[in-house]
Structure formats: C-alpha cells, structure tokens
Structure 1
Amino acid sequence: MQSILQKTTGIGPTPVHPEDLRGRVAVVTGGAFGIGFEISRSLASAGCRVIMVNRKEEQGDEAQQTIRAETPEANVEWVHCDLGNLSEVRSVFTGLRERLDRLDFLVLSAGINTNQYGVDADGIDRHFGVNYLGQYYVCNQLWPLLRKTPGLGDGKPPAPRVVFLASEMHRAAPSNVRFEGLDEINNPNLGPTELYGRTKLAMILLAKYGLADKVIKTNSDRVYAVSVHPGAVNTAMQQQWKDAYPGITGKMLTWAMLAFGRDPEQGSYSALWALTSPKIEDENLNGYYFSDPDTPGKETAQASDPALGDALWKLSERLVKDKLGEDALLDWNAAA
C-alpha cells in the first residue's frame, strides 16, 4: 500500500539511491533476503563490493542471480552463516576478516520476526541469539577491519559505517528488562512481540552505549555506528505472525502488515541513508537512532538508559565467553 501511495502521491520515505561506491566493501547480514537484499542490491548497483551473509543457500543463489542480471559487472558473493550459532559466527567472520582488505559498510539486517519462544544452537532465546547476540559478535570479529579502513588510501575517505536494522517495535520490549543474565533472557513466559521488541531495543542500545560510547569514543576510532527503523515492511517474514499468534489474530496481523506495509525497497532507504549520507560524519551523529532517512527517532526511556546499555554490554561479553571460552572476543582496540 505504501509503495502505491509513494508512486501516485509522493507520500512515503525519501528514496535513497547511492550512485558511486566503487572501491568500497560491504558486509550485509541477511543480505540475500527482504530488506537486506534491497540494501545489497542498491550498494552493488553503485559499484560497491557486497558480501551477503544468510543461512539459506537458495536465497543466496537467487539474490546473486538477480543482482547480476540487473548489474552484470556487480561484485557480489554469498556466504553461509547461522547467526544463532556463535561458533559458526566466529569461523565465518574470522575468515572474512582475514581475506578482506577493507570494510566500509557493515549492515546488521539478519533476523527472525515476531514468533514463538524457542532456543538457538547455543541454548539462548532464538530471537535474542539471532537478532542481537550473533550480530554483536559479528561486530567484534570485524572491528579490526573497520578501524583499519580509514587509514587506507589518500586523502580523507568517508568513515566506515555500522548500521543496525532496529525498529519502532523496541517499544514492545518488556517493561522490566534488565539484561542481567541468561535466566532473564530465556523466559518462555514472554509473548512473541515482547521477545522481538527486546532484540530491537538491544540493537539501539548496542549502537548508542556499546559501540559509540565504549569502543569508538574510547579508542578514538573513525567509525560510525547507528540504528534505523525500516518501517513496517511487507516481506515474507510477515508470515511469521501466523506462527507467533495461531488462529485469526495471526492471520489478521499478517494481512494488515502485507496490506499496509512498505515494500522492501522502501524499507531499505533508512539504512542506505545512514550508510552514505555525509551528515552522519559532518554532524558526528554517532550512536543515533533514525526512524526514516534524515529523521531522528524518538527512543523509549529504556533505549535512552546508559545503565541498561552497560548491563547489555556486560551480558553480551559474558554470554559469548560462556559459550566459546575466555578468548572468544577480540580486543576492541586490536589492529587488523
């Protein structure tokens, strides 16, 4: 519906179509499907080298074929990774870190939509594991490459960007969230919307109080981390409402999202703007949350709580080390 309105009336998010990104490199989790695919497609069409990371091989094959059919010279590839498996995340992204010379754009778009409670390969709530913790670990494994990139080449190239696909659904996070331990995270009594909303809250907190405050500011890294709301987008993920709320409620929610949501291309505009707008660096908008291109979002009190951000950071470190060992995390100040 919103895509039709935009075409006929101009109402909708401001379109963003990058033009010249030759020589730049992007890694996009969830990059072969939905909003992530549209981000990959747009970056590749502008000459950026794009590595798409997904769990399903058929999505990767189709995404590459589609992009190359539209842009025959596109430099795109697909890599398999289940972000709900921390050991696999370490293996895959260590490999990327070691074979890439630079990284200009890191887009954290992978995830599962609102759905019933379950656990991932590490025994962690699958919403939290896939949508948040796996992507926190991706950032850690690729950080040396991000902080190295600004020193490459002549002059002062644009600073690398890390963009999280968060959501206004962060407002649905449980009111009593504390990020104190795994027992709190693995709570089967939380509803599907609360489970999903908590992960989007975590993304906003990670960009703002984790990467921007604890890493970038501390290390004086020339890297920008922001989170964005893509809008309610009518991708196939909306079918998960039927699983989250069996019966007529789930069917009605799916219908509403598909009928009135944005199309995936519109859903990509916020992230593409955050990746490429000079305003991010010119105005030092590190850690910001945007609800549309060039539109600052209004976070909840939880998303503006530095103590909650600190608790999330400590829990993230603890969970990764508990699952993979004390040496699992790279030093955030390490050089590539």
Structure 2
Amino acid sequence: MTAGPGFLVLPWSDAEVSEARGGMLLRGGALLGAVLVICMAAMRKWIGGGVCRSGERLDGKTVLVTGANTGIGKETCRELARRGARMVMACRDLSRAERAAEDIRKSTGNGNVVIRHVDLASLHSVRSFAKDFLDSEDRLDVLVNNAGVMMCPKWLTEDGFETQFAVNHLSHFLLTNLLLPKLKSSAPSRVVTVSSVAHRGGHIDFSDLFFSSRPYSPLQSYRQSKLANVLFSRELARRLRGSGVSSFCVHPGVIWTELGRHVEGRFPLMGALLRLPAMLLMKTPWQGSQTSLYCAVTPRLEDQSGSYFSDCAVKEAAPEGQDDVAAGRLWRESARLVGIKETC
C-alpha cells in the first residue's frame, strides 16, 4: 500500500478494514441490544407495580370471585387457592370455567375449587346464585367483585338496564347485599371490589343513568360504572363500620386481557397496531391480580376499610370518588333499582 506525503500508511488490506468495521458494528449492535433489554426489563418491572408480599394462609376459609375464568379473576383465584382457600368461581360460561378451575387445581394442588353459574346481566341469575350459595356454603370470608365489561356497545340487560352500569355495579351491589349475612357471620371478612383509574373523570348522572336521553358514549358509561364501584365500596365501609366486614376498592392497573375485546372490535386496525406495544407496556394478568390479593389477605388492613388501593398501596381516589353525598345517593338509587331495602 502506498500513499503520498502526510498520509498514514495502514498495514491492513481493504478486506481487513472492512472486517474490522463490521466487527465494531456487531459489537455496537450487541451493546445497544443489551442496553435495550435492560431498559425494557426495568420498565416492565416498573409497569408491573406492587406485589403482595404477605404469606398469609387461608386454610379453612372460603373465597368467592366473580368473573373467575379468565384474566385477573383467574389469577386471583389461583393465588388464593395456593394459600389453601376453598375457592368458589362465579362465572357465566361454565365450560370455560371448568377448564380454568381444573388448571387451578393442577397448578396449586388445591382440589377444593368449585364453579357456580351466575350471569351478572340478569338480576334473577344473581338472586338464584346468592340463594344457592347461602344454602350450600358454611361461610364466606372474602368476596371479590371482579367481573366486568368495558366499552361495549349500548346493550340493555333483561332488566332494561344499560349493560356496563348493570354488570359492573348494580349486580355486584345486589350480590354483596344478598351475601352480607354470610359475610357478617364469618367476620372478620372482606369485600374487594375491582374498579379502575378510569373512575377519574367519571360522573354519576342520576337523571339518566342508562343513557336513555343523552347520546351513548361507551367510555363515559364505563367511567360512570367504575366511579360507581368506588362510591359503593366507600359507602359499604361506612354502613358496615363495627360489623367486622371490611370493604376495599382496587385499581388493578392497565392490563391486556379479554376485557378489551370490545375496543378491538370497534377499532380493529388500531387494536392490531397497538397489540404488540400493549403487551410490552401493560401488566400481565398475574401482576394485575396482586392488589386484589393484597386487599384479600394482608393482615391488619381493617383500619383502611373504605380506601382505594393501587399497586398494593393506599392511593387517593379522584375527588368524585370521595363524595359521600353522591355515595349515599347512589346506594339509595341502586337499592331501588334492584329491589332491596337500602340499609345493610
């Protein structure tokens, strides 16, 4: 290799230079990849949020979870079954529920996992379920109001109620009230109601709860129902003070589960584009179950009855969720709609 004056003469051929450059690019790419993996792992840990650290056992206790055959409901059941609880899985689809129950029995070694049918879009079904439970079960230590629907079209239940408000709030309101005798006789006991951060910005329109007069908005309906969960849990705690029954409301986190199927159905292209980043940036169902688990089993939590939890810690609910006047009014209206006396 020759060069004019002032040029450095390198002892490498063009092929060797090219190979050296390629090696540097490979090492740089590997380093960048390692940094991305570390960053992604750190982000996933941060997104995962709090984890229930309590080792509390539930041997001899009975736990009821609604919407238990999939998503965070199933993972909540699995974690509670690991602790020795008798699990009652309340589900609409019995064939899917039995597959989920068998999976939980095998993975936990707890054979005391049973399924019961309930359709939360039917008050008659809720009443039948509650009667059967009261007649057949000796106790109820924890009730997890977990089932829900999100941003579905404007559907009406057989009772003539808008579906999101009916399934997410009214049916759980009725179920909890019907099971209170068993919860009280099993005290200390707990009610855990799964809400959402979406309660922020929600509004209870007492003049038009079912969107009969105003244009229907799936998002506003969902927010209204999730705010109702927060207010119900708060009012339940107030009414049950001194009874030995505690009430907690939880935000499980943003989770990619079947709950979002209506969003994908309405916006299929958006759903397809967001699926991969959503899987990376949202919690897993197991991670989403942790706050429900925390409120179900953590000792000495009774003093926090009526509180709102997220990531296994007490958080401040939105101002709308701390309105005791609205909470009392919602209780009375809900009792009227489902046909029960308003006092616990």
- 1:192-207 matches, within 5 Å, as 192-207=218-233
Following TM superposition, by how much is the alpha carbon of 1:84 offset from its aligned partner in structure 2, in angstroms? 1.0
- Flag the 1:280–1:49 CA change in 2: closer, same or farther, 3 A: same
1:113-154: CA deviations, max 9, x gaps? 22222111211000011111000001011000001112xxxx
1:171 alignment partner, one of 200, 203, 222 = 200
Q: Across the two proteins, how many residue pairs are aligned to each other?
A: 305
Match of 1:30 in 2: 67
Match of 1:13 in 2: 49
Letter paired with 2:94: E
Following TM superposition, by how much is the alpha carbon of 1:310 offset from its aligned partner in structure 2, in angstroms? 1.5
Instruction: Measure the CA separation in 1 of the matches of 2:92 and 2:318.
Output: 32
Following TM superposition, by how much is the alpha carbon of 1:7 offset from its aligned partner in structure 2, in angstroms? 9.9
Following TM superposition, by how much is the alpha carbon of 1:236 offset from its aligned partner in structure 2, in angstroms? 2.2
Following TM superposition, by how much is the alpha carbon of 1:12 offset from its aligned partner in structure 2, in angstroms? 2.9
SS of 1:228's equivalent? strand
Matched, 1:93 2:93: no
Match of 1:289 in 2: 308
Query: How many percent identity over aligned positions?
Result: 30
- Flag the 1:78–1:9 CA change in 2: closer, same or farther, 3 A: closer
Following TM superposition, by how much is the alpha carbon of 1:160 offset from its aligned partner in structure 2, in angstroms? 0.6
What TM-score comes out, normalization by structure 1 length?
0.84
Following TM superposition, by how much is the alpha carbon of 1:19 offset from its aligned partner in structure 2, in angstroms? 4.7
- 1:46-65 matches, within 5 Å, as 46-65=83-102
Following TM superposition, by how much is the alpha carbon of 1:332 offset from its aligned partner in structure 2, in angstroms? 5.2
Following TM superposition, by how much is the alpha carbon of 1:98 offset from its aligned partner in structure 2, in angstroms? 1.8
Match of 1:156 in 2: none
Matched, 1:303 2:321: yes
Superposition CA RMSD, Å: 2.3
Match of 1:154 in 2: none
What TM-score comes out, normalization by structure 2 length?
0.82
- Flag the 1:240–1:216 CA change in 2: closer, same or farther, 3 A: same
Larger Rg: 2
Q: Note if contact 1:53-1:81 (Cα within 8 Å) is conserved in structure 2.
A: yes
- Flag the 1:143–1:180 CA change in 2: closer, same or farther, 3 A: farther
1:18-52: CA deviations, max 9, x gaps? 45210010010111211011111111111100100
1:69-104: CA deviations, max 9, x gaps? 113333101111111100110011111012111111
Instruction: Measure the CA separation in 1 of the matches of 2:211 and 2:164.
Output: 10
Q: Note if contact 2:335-2:342 (Cα within 8 Å) is conserved in structure 1.
A: no
2:244 alignment partner, one of 215, 222, 225 = 222
SS of 2:48's equivalent? coil
2:142 alignment partner, one of 105, 109, 112 = 105
Match of 2:190 in 1: 161
1:232 alignment partner, one of 230, 254, 259 = 254
1:253-312: CA deviations, max 9, x gaps? 55554342100000000010011112412xx11110012102x22222211111111221
1:191-211: CA deviations, max 9, x gaps? 2111111111000000102x1
Instruction: Measure the CA separation in 2 of the matches of 1:331 and 1:99.
Output: 26
1:159-195: CA deviations, max 9, x gaps? 2110001010111424xx333455x554561321111
Structure 1: which 5+ residue stretches go unaligned? Answer: 151-158, 322-328
Instruction: Measure the CA separation in 2 of the matches of 1:53 and 1:280.
Output: 25
Instruction: Measure the CA separation in 2 of the matches of 1:186 and 1:96.
Output: 34
- Flag the 1:242–1:161 CA change in 2: closer, same or farther, 3 A: same
- Flag the 1:311–1:330 CA change in 2: closer, same or farther, 3 A: closer
Match of 2:288 in 1: 267
- Flag the 1:43–1:9 CA change in 2: closer, same or farther, 3 A: closer
Letter paired with 2:50: T
SS of 1:162's equivalent? strand
Q: Note if contact 1:239-1:254 (Cα within 8 Å) is conserved in structure 2.
A: no
Letter paired with 1:14: G
